[in-house]
Structure formats: C-alpha cells, structure tokens
Amino acid sequence: MEGGLQLGGERPGRPLVGGVEAEHAGEQHHDPGAGRAADGLLDPLGAEAGLVLGPLQRVVAPAGVPGGHRAAGSGAGRSSSGKGQGFNATLLGGCRPLAAGTTRDPYPAPPHPNDARARPYDDGVGAAPRVAVIGAGAVGCFFAAQLAAGGRAEVTVCARRPFGDLQVSSELWGTTLRAAPLVQTDPAGLQAPFDAVLLATKAHQTAGAAAWLAAATGPGTTVAVLQNGVEQVGRVRPWVPSSAVVLPAVVYCGVERTGPGRVTHRTHGWFHLPDGEAARAVAGLFPPERELVQPVADWPTTAWRKLCENVTANGVTALTGRRMEVLRDPAVQELLRGLLAEATTVAASEGAVLPPDYADRQIARVAAFPDGVGTSMLYDRLGGLPMEEDAIYGAVVRAGARHGVATPLNQALLTLLAAISATAAGT
C-alpha cells in the first residue's frame, strides 16, 4: 500500500457508465517517443511542454453528446468521513467486455453546471473519489474533461478565472467531448482534502500554486505532477503534507487551448506514472477505453527519455525564434548532438537505458516534423512569458554536477534562456 490508496477486490460486471459495462481497450498502442504539445496561450495556470503542432486542417468532429444530465458512473470505496482515507480504485477496474453488438457510450452527457444532483452515483460502497485538477491550461482541461465525462470521480478544476463547461475537440479521435466539472477560483472555497490531485501548471508556477496544493491535499492524498523535467517530486513535496503520495508524471498530449475551457486535441493523449498501487489507483479514475494513464516499471528511462526530447528542440527554437524547421540545419544538428551527448550521459548516470544511437534517431525524428510545428518554449517566448529552462536544462546541469559529468552546452542554453525568462518576468 502507498499512502492512503488501497486496492480492493475486483467486482466483474458492475455498471460503469450510464448502466453500460465498460470495455477494456487494449487496441490503443502509442509511441512514447513523440512530443507533448501545448497551448502557448497566456494562461498562468496552463501546463505546456514539448512539441506543438501548428495549423492543421481541422477534422470535423461528430455532434456532441446530447442530454442534460450525467449518466451513472461508478463510485469507489471511501470512508464515510472522506478525510484522508484514500480511495479504492480496483473497484473501478473490475469490468467485462461488452457483448457483441452492444452500444457503448464511454462519455455520457454532462450535467448542467448548476444541477447539484448531477454527481457520479454512489453505488453503496461509498462516495465517488474527489479529484482536483490544478491548472486550466490545455493539458489540465484535457484530462479534467476525461475524468469528469467518465463519471468515475467528482472533479473540481482549480482556475484563476471562471468558465463554463469543458469541450475537447479531438482531431485524432474524431470526437467532441463535453463535460461540466465544478470550477473553483479561490483556494479557500475548496472542500478538502481531495483523494487525488492532478497538478497541471508549468514547473516554474509550482510555488504560485502552493495555496491550491495546501487547500486540496491532506493525509493520504495522491498528487500526480503533470509537469516537465525529472524533479517533480522535489518541487511539490514542500507544499503538501508529508503523508501525501507525490507521483511524477511524463505527459504525451498534443493539445492546444483555444479559449476558456476549450481545447483542440491533435496527438497522443496520455501520461505515464511510475508503476505501483498509487499509479494504478489514479489510472482507475479514468475510463479504460483509451488507456489515458499508463503506469511504467522503468521510470528513470521513461523520465529521462522525455527530458532528452525536450533538450533537443525546446531551447534552440526559443533562442532562434524559429519553428522546428531550424532543426534541419546541419550546423544546428551538430549543436543538438553535443547537447544530447551531455544529456544522455547524465541520463545513464541516473539509471536510464537509452539505445546507443538515440541522439541520431532523436535528431532525425524532430527534423522530420512538418513546417509549422513549434515548441512550448518557443510559444512562451513569443508570448512574452517566462520559460521552463530550469526544469529542462537546469535538471541536466544539476544531475551532471552530482555525477561529475560536464554539461557546458546545456549550461550555456540554461544561462541564455534564463536571461530571457528574467526579462519576461520583469526581474
């Protein structure tokens, strides 16, 4: 057992959404090597990282799900007091495949925002788990919508400004998902503690989210940190109770925030957590159809591979003010090889296992992106915002110092990008 998250016995055949039994979906096989996109808009509670797709031809999504109430979801075991006792996610996972010809609606219609009765149902085991999503940027809104529409948890989005419902238009899946979670704009208004928290701010905004974290967490709360870098636990631990479980996440989700509560989804759409009971419990909060949460056993490799992807593209695009086509320049590619030589050596010292030709493969991958693709760091600079250079290049430099690995190129990019961020922050 980790923290307050308990895994109970499986209950095959229980109704999961709208009285329809959910289907385990193993058909989705994702490539974790592709980058995570972000919105690039001026939302201080927006999490952005990795690669951002530029203008694409929009896929016309089917009409939204009609209706005025949320279909029944399944609750998870929770103490009657609801104070720091965790939740039982295996109760969410026990289901059998649909019979042939059965119609499945994994995303039922949302409730009216003012309908106090529209909550995930209580199946007699206990109240549904309560989840707070801190950050209403593209990534936060995307995963909050999946949670809320799935009906397995009572979801509250913590945002600086109020908005109506959530709408995720997926060009990848050809769907439009609407959901209406609670929206809270004041930490003092939260009814804490929550069973789980998804922190979806940018890495350098963590301290700014301290009031939200303090208000949302309690003994046994699980906090999944959906941020760039490899130092998520250290960044968040000072702001939550010592008994809270803090899980680092690696996010692959190509999304763009197009307005308050409005997200366009183009690529991928999941995050990794280090495998364990807490990670599996978080995974159990989401509908199983798309494997939105994927626990992994080899966390050092997963985390450092993503960081090396960020090292490859983010800094150079931000410094040059150009999109991914700049990475096709032979001279720039030589710089990338040097940056990756340092980063992969540090990664190996941290226990990551990357193939010997990783650098060449990674450079070829980013060079093959179509024109118009950018990075979140580029969009932050264009928007006059501070950037995540410390979470990316700073992490490489600090780990290199611990292991006696020289990282002069990563240090150079860190220094230049930090100077730009300081100007953007007005310091």
So which residues are the catalytic ones?
306
One-letter amino acid at 147 equals L
Neighbouring residues of 230: CB distance < 8 A, sequence distance ≥ 6: 248, 303, 304, 307, 350, 395, 399
Residue 376 sits at the vertex; the CA angle it makes with 373 and 378, to the nearest 5 degrees, is 75
Distance (Å, rounded) from C-alpha 87 to C-alpha 101? 34
Q: How many residues does the chain have?
A: 427
What torsion do the CA atoms of 157, 160, 165, 167 make, to the nearest 10 degrees?
-90
Cα 399 from chain centre:
24
Q: How many CB atoms lie within 10 A of CB 392?
A: 28
Distance (Å, rounded) from C-alpha 142 to C-alpha 83? 27
Which of 327, 303, 306 is CA-nearest to residue 378? 327
Strand, helix or coil at 138? helix
- Backbone Cα Rg of the chain: 21
DSSP label at residue 34: S
Tokens of 277: 């009971």
Distance (Å, rounded) from C-alpha 187 to C-alpha 192? 10
- With tokens 């190996």, the residue in question is 348
What torsion do the CA atoms of 394, 399, 404, 409 make, to the nearest 10 degrees?
-30
